A and B are shown apart, each in its own frame.
Chain A
Amino acid sequence: MKKLRENPLLLSAVIAIVALVASFWLLNNPRSTLPFLLTLGALLAALLQPIPKWLKVLIGGAILLLVIPAAGFKNSFLFELGIQTGIYAAMALGLNVVVGLAGLLDLGYAAFFAVGAYTWAIFGSPQANEFMPWKIFPLPGEYFYLFMLIAVVVAAITGVVIGSPALRLKGDYLAIVTLGLGEVVRVLANNLDQPINFTNGPQGITPIQRPPIDWFIALLEKFGLQLSRAEAYPLFFYLLVLVIIGIVTLVNIRLDRSRFGRAWIAIREDETAARAMGIPLFPTKLLAFATGASFSGAMGALFAAKQLYVSPESFTLIQSIMILVMVILGGMGSIPGAILGAATVTILNVDLLKSASDYLNDLRNAGFTLDLGFFKYNFANLPNQLEPAKYERMVFGLIMILMMIYRPEGIIPERRHVLEMKEES
């Protein structure tokens, strides 16, 4: 392994070959999990290992834009996985600003996701007719992009409103107060169907408009791809998510390398010293909080459009915890870490645990008997309660505990970049 690292040419070759093999395997077996994971592994290795930049772009572009979409047409679940990973990655990056950079433990992050989702859900569906004087709703799908921006603003404002009391508190209290305020937002979504029906309560809101994609279908036709609307939407959302991830990552990097990023890390490392260096505590924290919230809000609007349906169920504490687990797993303060964490946890949660459940169910239904000679077990006796997919809390809890005890810096630890003197052009 060490030898491999020291020889960039060999390293590049190995990664390229693995990527190629994995891609072909995936294209031939779009329904199995293993080739998909290997493809992602190759993608990750290409992006993180010290190989030439053009090769990174080539491998990354090929896998993200060709291999996965091609496999996705054979198995649309891959698109679903890709979109969900993308949404969570963007949120993990947002939470990374709050938890990773500024060191503020926010346990109510899903609240901003809810705010963003409801912002588009209410106005992109007939729901707004319930309380608005003009009966012009749902707004046409073109407004989606505008509302994504509005969701960013509304979520940021919510962040300021929630943060204003919460961020004045010292250390540990912030965690429990954000947890409480996150619940408050969920309870409000659940109960604001009366006296005036804003959110339609526990029933949720549906159907929600999607952005129109006629232009996208026409564009694909020019490339010789004939797709129906139902086939084109997953691809469209997948590509949209990729674009958003790109933007969000760029924003994250730029903030990290500005005076704001430095101020956040200073506060995380030592509040007293940061204040003594002229960094005002509360405004700086509030800025981090609102920044993180706005990422979450944007993804909420996208989520509403993708799902066609929102309800308070989607914005529980476990959602907030899941995103936190992504950040912790990847490495607090680390941008590639947040993306890796999001991919790992999403795949674990929506794919692996469910596959394991299905596998156990199959064994149970088939009445399979395990015979080790000294130990015999008939899977027909397996209790119905044993479904890995229902034990996400245990999985998340275990990840948190083990990471904190054995590797608190995460899989890809935060690495401070080297600042270089650049001549002004």
Chain B
Amino acid sequence: MSEAPILEVENVTKTFGGLVAVNDVSLKIPRRMIFAVIGPNGAGKTTFFNLITGIYKPDKGRILFDGEEITGKDPAWIAARGMARTFQNIRLFGSMTAVENVMVARHVHTKTSYADALLHTPRYHREEKKALERSMELLEYMQLSHRAHELAKNLPYGEQRRLEIARALALEPKLLLLDEPAAGMNPQETEDLQKRIVGIRDDLGVTILLIEHDMQLVMSISERIAVLDYGKKILEGTPEEVQNDPRVIEAYLGRGAAEGASS
């Protein structure tokens, strides 16, 4: 069972109106790998994430997560099965405190019934305590415990990004999708983030799928990379293979640049 890939994407296509955003993409992501999806702006990376997490339903193809078909399932259902994500444009619950944000993601792991919550039964206290403790642990892990009781919207940008990761980890995911986690960070923060991502994989055994523009970060931590261009997967391989492939340079810089680079 654990030999099977955590995520299998088979021939997935999604169109909006006349635009083919994701075109017949297939991927297999082995367990405990750090896997990156790169490509120029508008290549369909975020749409691809939205297809995997169930926000969009694919027009064609199917998606298997942990051996189970999840095509067309509700995002909440998929999340509860152990797939967590962050968003490109940070989407925290602004008027909740940092620790509450993390506790929201404990929802599926908290076994309090409605009656428990109303009557404050021992189970309510036990479960709330568990949720709070785990959330504080995760804040600690993401170096945010000093911000626990501040409103999420008042946190500085870099900490908001880390809080999103803490919140995602609270789902106890098997697969973590990071959508441009380093966007807007300074080099120091990016370096910290880099260590943190590897740490999450090593400490928690989580498979990581990330979209990122910072090539330095991608090349140094990913074990495998897929390149999307105009919705199509044009290449998949190790960082070395991807770095040296003229098609990648072409996708990023245009045809002329690729010729110039290869000559």
| Touching chains A and B, CB distance < 8 Å | yes
Residues of A within 8 A of B (CB): 251, 254-255, 258-260, 262-263, 265-266, 269-270, 272-281, 287, 333, 414, 416, 418-419, 421-422, 424
Question: Beyond A254-B117, A277-B104, A277-B167: 17 further Cβ-contacts under 8 Å?
Answer: A251-B118, A258-B124, A258-B128, A262-B103, A269-B92, A270-B93, A272-B75, A273-B87, A275-B76, A277-B170, A279-B107, A280-B74, A414-B95, A418-B97, A418-B149, A419-B103, A424-B126
Chain B residues with CB under 8 A of A269: 92-96
Chain B residues with CB under 8 A of A272: 55, 75, 91
Q: Give residues 76-131 of B contacting A (CB, 8 Å).
A: 76-77, 79-80, 84-85, 87, 91-97, 99-100, 103-108, 110, 112, 114, 116-118, 120, 124-129, 131
Q: CA A260 – CA B107 in complex, angstroms? A: 8
Chain B residues with CB under 8 A of A273: 87, 91-93
Chain A residues with CB under 8 A of B133: 421
Query: Contact between A419 and B76 (Cβ–Cβ < 8 Å)?
Result: no
Q: CA A275 – CA B104 in complex, angstroms? A: 10
Query: Contact between B107 and A262 (Cβ–Cβ < 8 Å)?
Result: yes
Query: Contact between B91 and A281 (Cβ–Cβ < 8 Å)?
Result: no
Q: CA A226 – CA B195 in complex, angstroms? A: 78
Given the known A-B contacts A258-B112, A262-B107, are A416 and B85 also in contact in the complex, defined by CB atoms under 8 Å?
A: no
Query: Contact between A265 and B95 (Cβ–Cβ < 8 Å)?
Result: yes
A258, A414, A422, most chain B CB atoms within 10 A: A258
B53, B100, B103, B124, most chain A CB atoms within 10 A: B100
Q: CA A255 – CA B124 in complex, angstroms? A: 11
Chain A residues with CB under 8 A of B120: 254
Shortest CB–CB separation between residue B146 and chain A, in angstroms? 14
Query: Contact between B99 and A419 (Cβ–Cβ < 8 Å)?
Result: yes
Chain B residues with CB under 8 A of A274: 76, 93, 104
Query: Contact between A278 and B107 (Cβ–Cβ < 8 Å)?
Result: yes
Q: Considering the complex of A and B, which 4 residue pairs feature the smallest CB-CB distances, nearest first? A: A258-B117, A278-B79, A273-B91, A269-B93
Shortest CB–CB separation between residue B158 and chain A, in angstroms? 19
Selected A-B contacts with CB under 8 Å, 22 pairs: A251-B118, A254-B120, A258-B128, A263-B104, A265-B95, A266-B104, A269-B95, A270-B93, A274-B76, A274-B104, A276-B76, A276-B85, A278-B79, A280-B74, A281-B74, A416-B96, A416-B100, A419-B97, A419-B100, A421-B133, A421-B136, A424-B125
B151 within 8 Å of A by Cβ? Answer: yes
Q: Which of B93, B103, B129 contacts A259 (CB 8 A)?
A: B103
Shortest CB–CB separation between residue A96 and chain B, in angstroms? 15
Q: Which of B95, B99, B100, B129 contacts A424 (CB 8 A)?
A: B129
Chain A residues with CB under 8 A of B108: 278
Q: CA A267 – CA B92 in complex, angstroms? A: 11
B33 within 8 Å of A by Cβ? Answer: no
Interface of A is mostly: helix
Query: Contact between B118 and A255 (Cβ–Cβ < 8 Å)?
Result: yes
Chain A residues with CB under 8 A of B116: 258
Chain B residues with CB under 8 A of A280: 74, 76-77
Chain B residues with CB under 8 A of A424: 125-126, 129
Chain B residues with CB under 8 A of A422: 125, 129
B209 within 8 Å of A by Cβ? Answer: no
Shortest CB–CB separation between residue A276 and chain B, in angstroms? 5
Given the known A-B contacts A265-B95, A269-B96, A414-B95, are A276 and B132 also in contact in the complex, defined by CB atoms under 8 Å?
A: no
